[in-house]
Amino acid sequence: MASDAPLLKTTVLPVDATKLGSLTSRPSQNDILDELDIELDPNSPDAQHLRSAAEQLRTSDIPVAFPTETVYGLGADATRSSATKGIYKAKQRPADNPLIVHFASLEQLRNLLRSPTDAPDTDPIPPIYKPLITKFWPGPLTLILPNPPHSPLAPEVTAGLSTFGARMPRHPLALALIREAAVPIAAPSANASTKPSPTAAEHVAYDLDGRIETILDGGPCDVGVESTVVDGLSSPPLILRPGGISLEQLRECEGWERTEVGYRDVSEKGVAPRAPGMKYRHYAPKATVVLFESGRRAPGWGDLVGSLREGRKVGVVRTRRWVFDGQGEEGPVKLVEGKAVARANGVEKVAKGFEGMLQAVHKQHVQRSVETHEVANGDEKFTLLDIDLGGDTADIARGVFAALRDMDRLDVDAIFVEGIGEEEGDVAAAVMNRLRKAAEVKVAA
C-alpha cells in the first residue's frame, strides 16, 4: 500500500534579522547606491540558521523559503538548472512562467550582466534604470533587464525570454542570505502555484510541507503584495505588474515621465508572460471567491445562501464600507454600506538605500481575528465567518492573502470579498489585480 507520508521533512527555522550580527551601510562616493556590510555573529543561533540555509542554496537542488518585505520567496541558485527546476517542482509552477532573480548588491548584478569583452569601467546597467535604483532599491521594484550573451543564468529562469527580472529586496534577512550564499537567487513567491501569496512562514508550511526542507521564519511581511515589475527597455516604459511602487512615483523619475500601464493589454491565453503574474489564475484559495468591485452593492441574503454547499459555511472579507445589519429585511444578517473610512495613499515613504532600510521602523502588524456568527432564518441555517481588514490600504495589502488562507483553513464554501478602488494608487491596484486573478465570480454591478 502506497504511503501518504511527505517525501521531505520540512523544518521551520526562526531567524531574527536584528540578531544576525553587524549590518551597517557605507556611503559610496562614485555609485548610485550605498553599500551594505554584513558581518554574521558566529555565536548567534539566528546566524547559524541563516548559514545553514545559504549552504543549502549553494549545494542542494531543493529550494529554501525566506522572507522579503513583499511576500515570502522560494529561493534557489539562479545559475544552476537543477536547482531552479526544484522551484518549479515544489510549486508545481508552469514552465513558461519566468522567475525573478534577487541580488544583494549592485556589484553582484553587474558581474552577471558584464560581458567578458566589456571594458572594466563600463557599467552594464542600462542608464534608464539608474534613477529607479537610486530612489527605490532595495525595495519592491523588479527591473526587466537584457539577459547577456553567455549568461550564467539557468535557462529555466528566463523561460525562453531574452530578458530577466532583477530585484534587490528590502529585508535584512533576505540580503544577508543572498550575500552568504554568494550566488544570485531566483525566487518566486513561496506558495503552491495558483494559491494565495504567503505573507508568513505558516502560510509557506501550509502549502509546501513535505516539498521543501527549510523555511526561514523572519516574521510577517511588511508590504503583502509582490513587487512592481517595470520594463524600461520599451518605449515608453511600462509597468508589467502592479505592486509596492506606484505609477506616480515612477513618473517622478528622470526618463520615466511617460510610463504607461502594460499589464491590462496582455491576453491570458496564447502569450508567453513577459513577467511573473501576467498569466494563469493566481492567488486562489480552494473556496469560490466572489469579488465585489469597489462601490458596488454588498452581497445580500440570497447571495450568501446561494453560495452554500455541504459545508454550510460562508466567509466575508470586509474593507472600507461593508457593515453588518443584524435586522436586515431579507434575513437576520444583511451587509449594508455603512462605515466611512479615510483612504491611505500609496506606499509609506522611507529613506533611500540600505541606510534607509536599516533605519526603518517596521509598522506593527494588526492581527485580524475571524468573527463567527451562527445564522438562522426560518429553516435556513449556516455559519458566517467574518474578517474586517479595516480601511488602510497598506493594512489591506498585508492582510488580504492571510484572510483568504484563514477562510480556506476554516473550510468555507465561498468567500465574499469587498474590493477597493484601484485608482487610489498602485498598492490598491496591486491588491485588486491579485483579487481579480483569485476570483471565480466578479460582481461589477
Give the per-residue pLDDT at 108: 97
Position 187 in a domain: yes
On whether both 246 and 381 belong to a single domain, the answer is no
Position 231 in a domain: yes
| Alpha carbon 340 to chain centroid, angstroms | 28
Position 349 in a domain: yes
On whether both 231 and 152 belong to a single domain, the answer is yes
Which one-letter amino acid corresponds to residue 217?
D
On whether both 19 and 78 belong to a single domain, the answer is yes
Position 269 in a domain: no
Q: Which ranges of 103-154 would DSSP assign to H, the alpha helix?
A: 106-113, 130-136
How far apart are alpha carbons 307 and 314 in whole angstroms? Answer: 7
Position 282 in a domain: no
Give the per-residue pLDDT at 71: 95
Give the per-residue pLDDT at 333: 62
On whether both 437 and 303 belong to a single domain, the answer is yes
Of 242, 261, 280, at which residue does a domain stop? 261
Say which CATH number the domain at 161 has: 3.90.870.10
On whether both 387 and 430 belong to a single domain, the answer is yes
Mean pLDDT, rounded, of the chain: 87
On whether both 250 and 356 belong to a single domain, the answer is no
On whether both 434 and 313 belong to a single domain, the answer is yes
Residues 419, 438: contact at Cβ < 8 Å? no
Give the per-residue pLDDT at 367: 62
On whether both 144 and 230 belong to a single domain, the answer is yes
Position 135 in a domain: yes
pLDDT in tens, the chain (445 residues): 344 555 899 999 999 999 999 999 999 888 999 999 999 999 999 999 999 999 999 999 999 999 999 999 999 999 999 999 999 999 988 777 899 999 999 999 999 999 877 777 889 999 999 999 999 999 999 999 999 998 999 999 998 899 999 999 999 999 999 999 999 999 999 999 888 889 999 999 999 999 999 999 999 998 888 899 999 999 999 999 998 898 889 999 999 999 999 876 443 444 455 555 544 455 667 888 999 998 888 888 888 889 998 889 999 999 988 887 765 455 556 777 777 555 555 445 556 899 888 876 445 555 678 888 888 877 788 999 999 998 888 889 888 988 998 998 899 999 999 999 887 777 888 889 888 888 877 776 5
On whether both 212 and 303 belong to a single domain, the answer is no
* Number of separate domains in the chain: 2
* Alpha carbon separation from 61 to 84, 173, 194, 236, 443 (Å, rounded): 7, 21, 22, 39, 43
Give the per-residue pLDDT at 340: 57
Q: What is the domain extent for residue 46?
A: 11-261
Give the per-residue pLDDT at 366: 58
Which H/E stretch holds residue 26? strand 21-26
Residues 71, 195: contact at Cβ < 8 Å? no
Say which CATH number the domain at 299 has: 3.40.50.11030
**What would the pLDDT profile of 311-362 be if each residue is shown by its tens digit?**
899 999 999 888 877 654 555 567 777 775 555 554 455 568 998 888 764 4
Give the per-residue pLDDT at 204: 97
Predicted structure pTM score: 0.84
Which one-letter amino acid corresponds to residue 287?
A
Cα–Cα–Cα angle for 364, 370, 371, rounded to 5 degrees: 125
Position 5 in a domain: no
3-state secondary structure of 39: strand
On whether both 314 and 235 belong to a single domain, the answer is no
On whether both 256 and 292 belong to a single domain, the answer is no
Give the per-residue pLDDT at 325: 72
Position 4 in a domain: no
On whether both 75 and 177 belong to a single domain, the answer is yes
Give the per-residue pLDDT at 43: 96
How far apart are alpha carbons 288 and 441 in whole angstroms? Answer: 8
Among residues 400, 398, 14, 414, which one has the least CA distance to residue 205? 14
